Chains A and B, each alone.
Chain A
Amino acid sequence: MTDQTPKRDAAANCDGLCVSRRTALAISAGGVAAGWIIPESGAAAEARPQPQGAATELNTYPRKRVGSLSKLKDGEPISFTYPLEQQPNFLVKLGAPAQGGVGPDRDIVAFSSLCTHMGGNLRGRYRHDLKAIGPCPFHFSTFDLAKSGIAVHASATERLPQVRLEIEGDDIYAVGVNGLVYGFRHNLRDGTLASGAVLPQGPGGSQKTMRG
């Protein structure tokens, strides 16, 4: 959404997350129950006029330091954006082991702050006694943070997207997201790279981005 985002070469981008349209068709015809991954890229996309402030298109999840083990306190969520600046999340130490939890007690998790029902902001609605977040101010959806964000009761059709975390020394890094963030068609499209997020180095994952 901003010109500050580095532009990326369209031809050299499709590794990991991207599959050609031909491959996607083969998936549907051949019966592999895989995800549908059809990037808004390639020559046809290039040929179309790009609206002002064209969307950024990343192709691998960046890495971002989101907190430290020594400073994180039980039950006190920390906000951060990831992988795009437009995607708010929270990091929290639940005080009890959780699915996808990291740290010595397997109790540190991070989730999107946007309800997957209709995008209500869940900020300030963490319930430490229940290791859950909700009810959403819009329509009361409530999610279990110890069980990978599944609904306690919800109108949402997806779990609360869980940010994948890694520990390196005292640092906690966000390295990916399970599930689509509300409002997006792809977690790595239509926004700007989150501040402090770093793209992996290498042939398919340089600091380049591409237009979508």
Chain B
Amino acid sequence: MTDNSGKTVSRRELLLAARTPTVDFGAYDIPEDQVPVPPANAQVLPTACEYCIVGCGYKAYVWPVDERPGGAKADLNAYRANYPVQSATGKWASPNMHNIVRRNGKLHHVVVVPDGETAVNRAGNHSIRGGTLAQKVFNPTKPTADRLQSPLLRVRGMLQPISWDTATSIAAELSKHVIAKYGEASWAMRYYSYHFWENTYALTKLALGSIATPNAAEHDKPTAENDATGLDDSGVDGFSAAYKDWQEADVIYISGVDPYENQTILFTEWIAPGGAKIVFVNPRKSPTAAYAERNGGVHLQLLPGTDALLNNGIARIILENGWEDSTWIGKVVATAEDIKQEKSSWRRVRFGLSFAEYKAWLLGDNEYQLDNVARITGVPAAKIRWAAEMLAQPRGQIRPKASFLLEKGNYWSFNFPNSASLSALGLLCGAGGRPGQVMSRAGGHQRGMMKAAGYPLAKSPAVYHDFRPGDPSGGKIPLNTDEWVFQGKTRLTWALGTTWVTALSAGQSIRDKVSALTRRHAAQVTSFDKDQAIAELKQRTDNGGMVLIQQDIYQNDLTEYADLVLPAAGWGEEDFARAQGERRLRIYSKFYDAPGEAKPDWWIVAQVAKKMGFSGYDWKDSNEVFEEAVGKSKGGAYDATAVVEFAKKQGRRTHDLLREMSTTGIQLPARLEGDKLVGTDRLHDQTFPANRDASKIVKQFNTASGKAILMKGDWLTVKPVREKFAPKADEIWVINGRINELWQTMYDDLRKPFSKRRYPSNFLFINPADAKSRGIESGDLVSVENDFVVNILGEVTKGSLSLVAYVTDEVAAGVGYTYSFYPGQNSNTIVPAVTDPVTGVYNYKIGKGRVRKIGETPLKQVDGGMSFVPRSIG
């Protein structure tokens, strides 16, 4: 080729000449200015987003790289789109939606595009997280090149490849050894609850079924406890609402979650278009707070950990004015007699209140007087009163349709009192199982759990501290798996899809302990000889140590301590299914080959289970696991037995039926009405026709009596604990949570340069007043140090964290905010392991520390890649 002057130049020089800017753009990356278009005959496979609870529908368009791409006219491309594509049509793919994959051994283009034909993200709306799904798929020329591709064994300190046969033999032999010698409670599994029914079913079949260990917990908790326990106890399923309910509401009380940031499509596609006024309860003036105040709502910017007081304070105003929904309460709220039927739930018996009891309690306790509530929560009294009016004050004969949305900002600080006080407030306002009048979690990850067996509570030694004889189930609570490790009772831990030591509270303390039990223990593997390796690891378990098996798609902060690492195949690499935030069941199609020897989790668990001598693990594919798993859903919120029955009647595999149902799928529970497969909009539906047949959970609340229970969420149980762990002297609160651009432990975001550039470091949102008094500017490096990080044994430890300062009035003076799970900069380092006394769930959000400047980062410069513009303008 020649250039403009006729001189011969290389292709690379030409590319550089054409693409290098004439000025220095600072950032390393110059974004693409073109993207391949799938040809009209491209294969189209339905899937849904890997990430958040909303589970937007996507389609993967796949075509071989040696075929011509599609053209600009609708008949020449698979989108059936004319270029340029019009706005808001959902038919445009950006360069970040494209990648190259291997499919059946051959290179293919893939474009993963939000599907405009789904019932979830209508018109192809999407978030920044799901929109970049194509960048998560394995491509050895891109940042995903470091996917785990073969089993690894730590031999003489180094993780080195071994065969699947050796790996599964080691896992099985060690498991058999510790169970035989120390009992099943010495064998721990930390399984995830998010990643597809096929996998969670297989994991729990082994842990809770075949082995039946009480030493088990989901990825984000130390105990096998529920999430929003107070809501569950009231009889309202965490995901009872239909998304259209948020569109039909007049007012939405949003507690401890920013739905624009974290359930983006729930907000931009359902909440905002419905025009409901928003009562936004959050210590942060985040983008949704700004939206709420711009659109007739109110932001109740409470101090961390005061949710139960605020919820009860609002309820008291409603009761004082007689604004409660009396008709509703008379019809659906449980009486004292109803509550006595709750034989299987000691919490309901202990904390359930009749309406008269609830009213007498709130009106009789001066703690809930408005002035006191305003003083302690930091929210002006006028705003609290206004919120009560918006939620419950009738306009003539008409009540506002109020709905309630909550998430971890609520139930991950003081789990039971926060979620119980919220659900009681909701019931008072008439919410729960009516169009536009619902209560639900916003949700984190999707509903991927299909348990093969129940938790063996009888085997747990843990009992509620204030247990009284006669409490149902003996007041038992699941054992704390972290405590079990600290006490040396766990001899083997198998951790799947969780970073554990950087996710749970008092992280430095857990890391020190796990390190001592594994890497720093005297017994280490010194040979690839299988028998010798097993013998050496048995030496470990028999001398106070622990063997750690990690199963994941990448190495992460936990890998440092692992003896055996098993490579998993994930999203897009196997046919899977699960439900999302309105219980919508969909297929997640395989569209490319898993890297190297990576295998789906169900397959890995089955190999180990068979080598341990258990039967019932001879599945030939993921569809077989799925159809078996669905048997456990009968009668519950995710009952899909009718879907399998429907497929079998047609002689089809259920996965194939789901593929045909594409990105809309079906809302569970499903049922057969004649020849028709029918889904369920909302649970506990008080408007459901009495003459139609459906399971109890569809028509009634999830309690013995079918009525909803007012649970006592007592602020006075919070108050002393909160005061003990509150900032002292020059400390500030340092709370944590999610942020729009990042997902969970950033396993994918670390490998998406576009996403990571927004937050190249973990950050500390700090109020301008706090920053000024410490000489801090945006872009400075700051440290947070907490000298009062109590661990699970009650020992006082210390935690230190370095962060980049982001000066913003998004947080109030005295309150900082950081990302929960930034690898290497984990907020749990400064969070004490304080558990809720009723449920055992950690107060993950309640951190604090001294903040000071320790340097500057290059991000502070003009050419630094990070933005420090305030986010609360949204």
Contact = CB atoms under 8 A, between A and B. Distances in A.
A150 B867 contact: yes
Contacts of A114: 87
16 contacts: A28-B107, A61-B18, A99-B25, A102-B23, A118-B87, A118-B90, A118-B92, A119-B85, A119-B92, A120-B87, A130-B870, A135-B873, A146-B862, A158-B31, A183-B84, A185-B72
Interface stretch (A2-10, A68-76, A195-203): A195-203
Nearest to A28: B100
A144 B871 CA distance: 10
Given A146-B862, A164-B23, A180 B264 contact: no
B59 to A, nearest CB: 15
A212 interface: yes
Contacts of A191: 84
Name the residue in A35, A102, A144, A165 with the highest tally of chain B Cβ atoms < 10 Å from its Cβ. Answer: A35
Contacts of A138: 87-88
A135 B874 contact: yes
B740 to A, nearest CB: 5
A200 B862 contact: no
Interface string B862-874: 1111110111011
Given A99-B25, A130-B873, A158-B754, 9 more contacts: A40-B71, A44-B68, A118-B87, A138-B87, A153-B741, A177-B33, A185-B36, A191-B84, A205-B4
A119 B72 contact: no
Contacts of A185: 34-37, 72, 83
Contacts of B414: none
B32 to A, nearest CB: 5
A151 B741 contact: yes
A193 interface: no
A101 interface: yes
Contact of A147 (B6, B34, B754, B865): B865
Contacts of A150: 757-758, 865, 867
B73 A51 contact: yes
B128 A156 contact: yes
A190 B871 contact: no
Interface string A178-198: 111111111101110000000
Interface in B372-429: none
B518 interface: no
A86 B72 CA distance: 15
B34 A180 contact: yes
A179 B32 contact: yes
A152 interface: yes
A118 B88 contact: yes
Interface in A128-166: 130-132, 134-135, 138-140, 142, 144, 146-148, 150-159, 161-162, 164-166
Contacts of A155: 125-128, 131, 264, 268
A55 interface: yes
Contact of A190 (B83, B97, B142, B268): B83
Contacts of B86: 119, 183
Contacts of B83: 55, 183-185, 189-190
A202 B4 CA distance: 5
B874 A153 contact: yes
Nearest to B95: A180
Contacts of A86: 84
Which 6 pairs between the two chains have the least Cβ-Cβ distance? A119-B87, A202-B4, A16-B18, A157-B131, A179-B31, A144-B867
Given A28-B100, A36-B35, A131 B869 contact: yes
A100 interface: yes
A25 B107 CA distance: 9
Interface string B333-368: 000000000000000000000000000000000000
Contacts, number: 247
B261 interface: yes
Nearest to B268: A139
A31 interface: yes
A15 B873 CA distance: 44
Number of chain A interface residues as a range: 35 or more
* Binding site secondary structure of chain B: loop
Nearest to B109: A36
Contact of B863 (A99, A140, A176): A99
A144 B869 CA distance: 7
B38 to A, nearest CB: 11
Contacts of A51: 73
Interface of B: 1-6, 11, 14-15, 17-19, 21-27, 30-37, 65-66, 68-69, 71-73, 76, 83-88, 90, 92, 94-98, 100, 107, 109, 123-128, 131-132, 140-142, 260-261, 264, 268, 287, 291, 740-741, 754, 757-758, 862-867, 869-871, 873-874
Interface in A70-116: 86, 97-102, 106, 114, 116
B873 A202 contact: no
B2 A99 contact: no
Interface of A: 15-17, 19, 21, 23-25, 28-29, 31-38, 40, 44-45, 48, 51, 55, 60-61, 86, 97-102, 106, 114, 116-121, 127, 130-132, 134-135, 138-140, 142, 144, 146-148, 150-159, 161-162, 164-166, 175-187, 189-191, 200-205, 212
A142 B874 CA distance: 7
Contacts of A159: 31, 754
Residue of A16, A157, A200 with highest tally of chain B CB at under 10 A:
A157
B131 A156 contact: yes
A177 B27 CA distance: 15
A99 B862 contact: yes
Contacts of A151: 128, 741, 758, 867
A119 B89 CA distance: 9
A137 to B, nearest CB: 10
A152 B740 CA distance: 10
A61 B264 CA distance: 36
Nearest to B98: A36
Nearest to B741: A151
Contacts of A38: 36, 69
B740 A153 contact: yes
A28 B65 contact: yes
B94 A202 contact: no
Contacts of B14: 15-16
Nearest to A57: B72
A182 B98 contact: no
Contact of B874 (A29, A140, A175): A140
A158 B35 CA distance: 12
Contacts of B867: 144, 147, 150-152
Contacts of B740: 153-154
B73 to A, nearest CB: 5
Contacts of B863: 99
Contacts of B31: 158-159, 161, 178-180
Given A144-B869, A151-B867, A100 B2 contact: no
B87 A158 contact: no
A140 B265 CA distance: 12
B4 A34 contact: no
Nearest to A106: B862
A191 B84 CA distance: 8
Given A25-B65, A155-B127, A190-B84, A99 B27 contact: yes
Contacts of A48: 71, 76
Contacts of B27: 99, 147-148
A183 B92 contact: yes
A101 B23 contact: yes
A124 to B, nearest CB: 15
A97 B30 CA distance: 19
B268 A140 contact: yes
Contacts of B26: 99-100, 148
